[in-house]
Amino acid sequence: MVYDPEKYREKREKVLGIKKKGIGFGTLAMVVSFLVIAGLGAVTIPRLVSYMTTRNLDDAIFKLEADSSLPENEISGITSIEGVKKIIKDKNNTRLVVTYDRGKVKLSTLTDVFARQDLKVTLLNEVNHRQHQGTLKKEEEDIETP
């Protein structure tokens, strides 16, 4: 019987280590797993990073008295206090939001600074920074929605 090169093709390919065409189950499972993990990572990691960087932050909301105004050099003075992340004034220059790390700076330190400068401010609220951001975002959405 004459040799038929097709007869033992599978055995021959195995011996020579010839890979079959197409994606095997193992490769497919690995690709799908990678995509699922990457997808979950893309959603979870930014949130995790955001949480980690803002978890100790609080916002202190101050109201300026009617006859008071906040000079720019005072703002930079407060910003330079260790633990103070940022200060935002509203458009009417009547409210001041100080974002600070409660682990590094106390609220009384901030009020002392205002007192030293003879600035008349009233503490309206002290709230978690993320919670405050969420409230502001919701308010913006409510305004945009007719």
Partner 1 sequence: MKREMKMTEDVDHLIEVSGLKKTYQSGDTSVDAIRNMDFFIDDAEFVTIMGPSGSGKSTLLSIMGALNHPTMGKVLVDSLDIYALNAEQRADFRSDYIGFIFQSFQLIPYLTVLENVKLPMAVTGRKKKIQDQMAEDVIERVGLTAKAHRLPDQLSGGEQERVAIARAIVNKPPIILADEPTGNLDSKTAGDIMNLLQSLNRDGHTVIVVTHNPDMEAYAGRTIRVQDGECFT
Q: Which residues bind partner 1 (CB under 8 A)?
A: 1-5, 7-8, 11-12, 14-17
- How far CA 79 is from CA of 3, 87, 99, 100, 127, in Å, comes to 88, 7, 10, 9, 19
Q: Confirm if 68 and 121 have CB atoms less than 8 A apart.
A: yes
Q: Which amino acid is at 1?
A: M
- Nearer Cβ to partner 1, position 10 or 90? 10
- Nearer Cβ to partner 1, position 9 or 86? 9
Q: How far is the CB of 42 from partner 1 (least distance, A)?
A: 37
Q: How far is the CB of 14 from partner 1 (least distance, A)?
A: 6
Q: How far is the CB of 44 from partner 1 (least distance, A)?
A: 37
- How far CA 94 is from CA of 75, 123, 132, in Å, comes to 14, 12, 18
Q: How far is the CB of 22 from partner 1 (least distance, A)?
A: 17
Burial category of 107 from C-beta neighbours within 10 Å (exposed 0-12, middle 13-18, buried 19 and up): middle
Q: How far is the CB of 10 from partner 1 (least distance, A)?
A: 9
- Nearer Cβ to partner 1, position 1 or 52? 1
Q: Confirm if 61 and 97 have CB atoms less than 8 A apart.
A: yes
Which stretches of the chain are assigned E, i.e. beta strand?
57-64, 84-89, 95-101, 121-128
- Nearer Cβ to partner 1, position 7 or 106? 7
- Nearer Cβ to partner 1, position 15 or 66? 15
